[in-house]
Chain A
């Protein structure tokens, strides 16, 4: 199959085959980063713009590295110092970037749906690097890529996603991606951090982490996003850690080679102990490395689709 979409907005909008195509493409790009000269000419002459309305180091740098390894030119726009401060609307900003003949906008935005709106208004490609609580597709893709690399498959795996599901775009993208590839997903969180009717995605829910861990192949631990929703109901940090914190003690009762993932940045001692974060089950830094291959694949595929339409 070939890729036909100009944008990547979320995994909800992709088919199983499209997700697999990204993963396969990422696999072939992974080798590039191990070369002496870490560069291929796939996107030579293309311009990618990082448009970040929210602070981000990991994702922004990962996209920048990915684009550069494909030989694209990369422009970073820090919205704090741009016309956005002067009240320019998102669509106007996007149209200006398009008028500069850029090829791809990689956007992080604090409003859910911002990437959908931008993609509708522009001819050039839009890659969603996280929008509000909605989706963060490349994060989920790199999580799934890492998992597949570690355990050899996705279909039939039992995957637990633990923590603040309600405010997490990473959780939503992982749920769509994993269920489409045939994994069994269990969301494990205090009731107040599970959004309404989340089971309709196909994921199960539980409030009992120890029970869930007994039969889990991989656990993806989310960051508690205390800063994101003032006034919303949150458990106390201590109570949360007692019931849902991933500790060595807890892992001792889980499957021996359980894979522990975290999208970062970690709140050590809040959702996960330092020992686990740095321990043998943790693949947190491999996720970061794989992020480059996955983002190279996404950049490559959306620009192929654009070129095919010309």
Chain B
């Protein structure tokens, strides 16, 4: 993977919380340090001074304010989650900035990219200012903005893409919807590229997926539910890549779920198109077979696919075709989930489980190494968004996590702190727990 946007200065009036000098120091001893950008996988000490990584070396001698023994633990950069629905403003019954970012801290996520499908949508500066105020007050981790491509995310009129950058926006997307109009989408790519913004595509042709609720195939047949074909995703992935190519713009494909999408993205990368993509843990951990009891916590869009698709997603991660793992954290209330399957909302929460699911499914099954896993969670999102984060290089901001990677825990409604409990992994035993989350050199979560 190559960085597709040149590293930009973090906007000074942006939504990244500004590191405040506190003069405090933390010494993390004897952890297994994973830092893909510097190709480090070794037992080392890390000294954090005044919000920044000061030193990474063996046996650092320093009289720090806090000393953390990280023996037998993993020390890595904080996760940058490119796909999070905060729900505030508008749907505070599902989740708030305060609860989502607390869940993020617990899950080892130090930066989230907030999707624009709030109420109102993030489609103009006024609405972004509104969210910015809430974030300044309530956010426990860094929150980056993703603005809408079209007004109200209706796919009809472009937003004022050029002004977003100054407001601290990093990307545009109509997430949840795809812009059907080709001309409009091409223009969006062009303007985003000129403005230095990343365009993220929810690639779905709704004319094909229609009123589908689960993957199209034998399971949709036996359950008597309307199916969503792979084609409704990959046909639109293909179009989005073509339009981005015509506009010579960067494109990031969200939540890739099927094998054909992986193939199309692989080909485009080979041809030098500036395309990157992400998948979510449920697409490499679960197949449509978990749906046989009509469990609405297994209902998401795109849907859980077949075993062949799952294998292709894992292979895509291994081959580097899939750059990023993101949660697509989509909180919904019990009232919206504990109803008839066809009527229940799409989406699952994921901030608190994404790392554990990945350790359980990818590391344990030898699909990825620790370096590769941290690359997908930290370094690649930073590169794609143009952030000087996701690394442990001395001088960079100290966003980091300490993980007990052998610890086994069971996901229950009680131990999730997100306001909504619609996890696809309830009652499952997962491996790996966050012990510390450090954001800007400050411990913001401790188990």
A interface residues with partner B (beta carbon < 8 Å): 12, 89-91, 109, 111-114, 116-117, 120, 131-135, 169, 172, 195-198, 200-201, 231
Instruction: A198 to B216: give the CA distance in the assembly, Å.
Output: 12
Not counting A111-B341, A117-B341, a sample of 15 additional A-B residue pairs whose C-beta atoms are within 8 angstroms of each other reads A89-B338, A89-B339, A90-B340, A111-B340, A113-B224, A113-B340, A117-B294, A132-B224, A132-B342, A133-B224, A133-B225, A195-B220, A196-B216, A197-B221, A198-B221
Interface of chain B residues 184 through 234 with chain A (CB within 8 A): 210, 216-218, 220-225, 227
B413 at the interface (CB under 8 A from A): no
Is there contact, CB below 8 Å, between B342 and A111?
yes
1/0 per residue, CB under 8 A from A, across B51-77: the answer is: 000000000000000000000000000
Q: Which B residues lie within 8 Å of A200 (CB)?
A: 218, 221
The answer to whether A112 and B210 touch across the interface, beta carbons within 8 angstroms, is no
The answer to whether A91 touches B338, judged by C-beta atoms less than 8 angstroms apart, is: yes
The complex places the Cα of A197 from the Cα of B340 at a distance, in Å, of 24
| Assembly CA distance A293 to B225 (angstroms) | 31
Q: How far is the CA of A111 from the CA of B223 in the complex (A)?
A: 10
Whether the pair A231, B210 counts as a contact (CB closer than 8 A) is: yes
Closest residue on chain A to residue B342 by CB atoms: A111
Which residues from chain A contact B216 at a C-beta distance below 8 Å?
196
The answer on a CB contact under 8 Å between A117 and B222 is no
Determine if A113 and B294 form an interchain contact, defined as CB atoms under 8 angstroms apart.
Answer: yes
Which residues on the A side are within 8 Å of B308 (C-beta)? Answer: none
Contact residues in A for B239 (Cβ distance below 8 Å): none
Given contacts A111-B342, A111-B343, A117-B294, contact A201 B222 (CB under 8 A): yes
CB nearest neighbor in B for A111: B340
* Chain A residue nearest to B229 in the complex (CB): A196
Contacts of A117 in B (CB 8 A): 294, 340-341
Closest 10 CB pairs of A and B: A133-B224, A134-B224, A113-B294, A112-B224, A111-B340, A197-B218, A195-B221, A113-B341, A200-B218, A111-B342
Alpha-carbon distance A280/B112, docked complex (angstroms):
71
Q: Knowing A90-B340, A231-B210 touch, does A116 contact B222 (C-beta < 8 A)?
A: no
B227 and A113 contact, CB distance less than 8 A: no
**B9 contacts chain A at the CB level, 8 A cutoff:** no
- In the complex, chain B residues whose CB is within 8 Å of the CB of A201: 222
Instruction: Please tell me if the beta carbons of A197 and B294 are within 8 angstroms of each other in the complex.
Output: no
Given A91-B338, A111-B340, A113-B340: A172 and B294 interface contact (C-beta under 8 Å): no
CB-CB < 8 A to B227: which residues of A? Answer: 196
Given the contacts A90-B339, A117-B341, A197-B217, A112 and B293 also touching, CB distance less than 8 Å? no
Taken together as a complex, chains A and B put the C-alpha atoms of A242 and B109 apart, in Å, by 63
Whole-angstrom CA separation of A195 from B219 in the bound complex: 10
A residues in contact with B294, CB < 8 Å:
112-113, 116-117
Q: With the chains together, A89 CA to B343 CA distance in Å?
A: 11
Contact call A131/B222, Cβ cutoff below 8 A: no
Residue A113 contacts which of B218, B223, B335 (CB distance < 8 angstroms)?
B223
Chain A residues with CB under 8 A of B338? 89, 91
Contact of A196 with B220 in the complex, beta carbons under 8 Å: yes
Given A116-B294, A231-B210, are A196 and B340 also a contact pair (CB < 8 Å)? no
Chain B residue numbers with a CB within 8 Å of A120 are: 293
Residues of A within 8 Å of B217, CB to CB, are: 196-197
Docked complex Cα distance between A196 and B288 (Å): 15
A-B contact pairs, 10 of them (CB 8 A): A91-B338, A91-B339, A111-B340, A112-B294, A113-B223, A195-B220, A196-B221, A197-B221, A198-B218, A200-B218
Whole-angstrom distance between the Cβ of A176 and the nearest chain B Cβ: 9
Residue of B nearest to A230 (CB): B211
Task: For B222, list chain A residues within 8 Å (CB).
Answer: 12, 172, 201
Residues of A within 8 A of B340 (CB): 90, 109, 111, 113-114, 117
Chain B residues, Cβ within 8 Å of A12 = 222
Q: Contacts of B342 on A, CB cut-off 8 Å?
A: 111-113, 132
